[in-house]
Amino acid sequence: MLEQKEGSQAVAEAVARCRPEVICAYPISPQTHIVERLSDLVRVGKIDPCEFVSVESEFAAMSVAIGASATGARTYTATASQGLLFMVEALYNASGLGFPIVMTVANRAIGAPINIWNDHSDSMSQRDSGWIQLYAESNQEALDLHIQAYRLAEELSLPVMVCMDGFILTHAYEEVDVPGQDDVDSFLPPYEPRQVLDPSDPVTIGAMVGPEAFTEVKYLMHAKQMQALDSIPRIAEEFESAFGRPSGGLVRTYRADDAETIVVALGSVLGTIEDVVDELRDEGVKIGALAIKCFRPYPLGEVREALEDARRIVVLEKAFAVGAGGIVGQNVRLALSGMPARVYDVVAGLGGRSITKRSLHALFEDVLADRLESGRLHFLDLNSEIVQRELERAGKGRTGPHAENMLRDLGIVAARSH
């Protein structure tokens, strides 16, 4: 049924339709509306049977999820940013032990400095954790991906992280088609665990593995994730047949067939990018976009196929590897190795800074006019002046924290009186 809803509410409805048996979450902006709604739904019996466990930390949230999933319960949790980091030990434990937990990550910047707004530094920091990572472009897709995620997770016995941009999606009202319970039940059968704690058939889960077998165990993890490269498109196709709309998958191209320049991005910014692509196409520019929807496992073949005929690739990402460069950029270069296209690494939207059509137009114009250096990391809309001033200040005694100095320069923080 078509409804005008907040993104968080849409996700909560999707999760509810998946019949989770244990929900354990710790509140953190901007995920709070999701768990609040789920708490209500459990209380009034709309999700039944279900245990909603109010945990004391994100580390506890993922740990409770591990215990519940190990006992054969379909389990859900959600977090963001600092919370994701707080559960990292448990994240690796969940993937290492192969529990099909589904978690929403309401993408938010990681501190310090503390910042509650959107970027991808949180999920990107966990790209090697062994979790499957899916990125939603819209609230509809966020809703859809949770349903697909349980299918995927339980088929492969691997945990799945559904990433949706914090605030930009979670707190935005837009129309979503909320599927009916029967339709979801047909798509998502009850959870049949591959391993379960059951007194009638005792197993030991989580034993130590030494040098003689550890490599093999990790190889199998990798192999399993690579299987997802087949499972994900198949599940997306089945979803489209069942629910009548395309959603998920590994990648999606937009006007990229004859494009000489292709913009690569993840998440909600693709909407804005597509508007700019249309406007530039109207001016005769051969430009298109590539949405990476599944970042882990990395769809190297699909990325290569989408980009192989383009001359210029602009990777626009909301996180970066400090001291090294772009993250998605590096992954894209990997897909294009041996090919002549020029790749431009652009970081944008950090800590919630808006990515505007105007800035994108200016960026693409610079790229097309060869005014941008490929192979160097560019920061979109960087205030070079204040950065320069701060760099000059460094090394001159006790200069104080960078952030406060720059906020003062921007006039946000009042200067101290002397």
Partner 1 sequence: MFQVRIHGRGGQGAVTAAEMLSVAAFAEGRHAQAFPSFGSERTGAPVVSFCRIDDAPIRNREPIAAPDALIVQDPTLLHQVDVFGGLPTEGSVLINSGKDPEGLGLSDLMQRLPDGRVLTVPATELAREHLGRPLPNAILLGGFAAFTRVVSLDSVLTAIARRFDGPIGERNAAGARAAHDYVRSRTEATSLA
Partner 2 sequence: MPYQEVKLYQAGTFVVGNRLLDPDQRSVQARSERSNTLTSGHRACQGCGEALGARYALDAAMRATGGQLIAANATGCLEVFSTPFPESSWQLPWIHSLFGNAPAVATGVAAALKVKGRPDIRVVGQGGDGGTVDIGFACLSGMFERNDDVLYVCYDNEAYMNTGVQRSGATPPGARTATTKPVGGTPGNEFGQGKNVPLIAMAHEIPYVATATVAELRDLEYKVERAMEFRGARYLHVFVPCPLGWGSASRDTIRIARLAKETGLFPVFEAEQGEVVGASKIRRAVPVEEYLKLQRRYAHLFGPDGHPNVIERLQKQADRNIRRFGLLASTEEGGELPGAK
Query: Which one, 89 or 308, has the nearer CB to partner 2?
Result: 89
Query: Which one, 4 or 241, has the nearer CB to partner 1?
Result: 4
CB 18 within 8 A of CB 148: no
Of 297, 98, 90, the closest CA to residue 193 belongs to 98
Distance CA 75, CA 18 (A): 10
Nearest approach, Cβ of 94 to partner 2 (angstroms)? 9
Rule CB under 8 A: say whether 13 interacts with partner 1.
no
**Tokens linked to 45:** 């019996």
Rule CB under 8 A: say whether 216 interacts with partner 2.
no
Among the listed residues 4, 204, 337, 384, the single contact to partner 2 using CB under 8 A: 204
Per-residue x/- marks for partner 2, 300-319, CB under 8 A?
A: --------------------
φ, ψ of residue 124 in degrees (nearest 5) = -60, -35
Residues 339-378 that bind partner 1 (CB under 8 A): 352, 354-358
Rule CB under 8 A: say whether 285 interacts with partner 2.
no
Among the listed residues 39, 72, 233, 386, the single contact to partner 2 using CB under 8 A: 72
Distance CA 247, CA 253 (A): 13
Query: Which one, 171 or 342, has the nearer CB to partner 1?
Result: 171
Residues with Cβ < 8 Å from 11, sequence gap 6 or more? 34, 104, 139, 142, 143, 146, 164, 170
Distance CA 79, CA 105 (A): 5
Residues with Cβ < 8 Å from 195, sequence gap 6 or more? 70, 98, 157, 203, 205
Helix (H) or strand (E) holding 64: helix 58-70
Nearest approach, Cβ of 62 to partner 2 (angstroms)? 8
**∠ CA 223-228-232 to the nearest 5 degrees?**
170
Rule CB under 8 A: say whether 271 interacts with partner 1.
yes
Nearest approach, Cβ of 41 to partner 1 (angstroms)? 18
The partner in contact with residue 355, picked from partner 2, partner 1, none with C-beta cut-offs of 5 to 8 angstroms by kind, is partner 1
Length of the chain: 418
CB 153 within 8 A of CB 159: yes
Give the CA dihedral 127, 403, 267, 277, nearest 10 degrees.
-130
Query: Which one, 30 or 326, has the nearer CB to partner 1?
Result: 30
Could you count the other beta carbons within 10 Å of the beta carbon of residue 82? 17
At residue 358, the 3 state secondary structure works out as: helix
Nearest approach, Cβ of 259 to partner 1 (angstroms)? 18
Rule CB under 8 A: say whether 36 interacts with partner 2.
no
Among the listed residues 11, 14, 23, 168, the single contact to partner 1 using CB under 8 A: 168
Nearest approach, Cβ of 3 to partner 1 (angstroms)? 8
Query: Which one, 93 or 123, has the nearer CB to partner 2?
Result: 93
**Tokens linked to 85:** 């980091």
**Tokens linked to 168:** 């930009």
Rule CB under 8 A: say whether 234 interacts with partner 1.
no
Q: Name the segment binding partner 2 (CB under 8 A); options: 128-136, 191-199, 267-275, 404-412.
A: 191-199
Among the listed residues 197, 221, 242, 285, the single contact to partner 2 using CB under 8 A: 197
Nearest approach, Cβ of 235 to partner 2 (angstroms)? 25
Rule CB under 8 A: say whether 291 interacts with partner 1.
no
Query: Which one, 159 or 267, has the nearer CB to partner 1?
Result: 267
CA 60: distance to chain centroid?
Answer: 22
Helix (H) or strand (E) holding 163: strand 160-165
Pairing mode, if any, of strands 173-177 and 251-254? Answer: unpaired
Among the listed residues 26, 59, 117, 295, the single contact to partner 1 using CB under 8 A: 117
CB 12 within 8 A of CB 50: no
The partner in contact with residue 275, picked from partner 1, partner 2, none with C-beta cut-offs of 5 to 8 angstroms by kind, is partner 1
Size of the site for partner 2 (CB under 8 A): 44
Beta bridge partners of 289: 254, 263
Q: Name the segment binding partner 2 (CB under 8 A); options: 16-24, 116-124, 342-350, 390-398.
A: 16-24
Give the binding site for partner 2 (CB under 8 A).
Answer: 21-22, 24, 49-51, 53-57, 59-60, 63-73, 75, 89-90, 93, 97, 197-199, 201-210, 212-213
Give the binding site for partner 1 (CB under 8 A).
Answer: 4, 6, 116-117, 167-168, 171-175, 268-272, 274-275, 352, 354-358
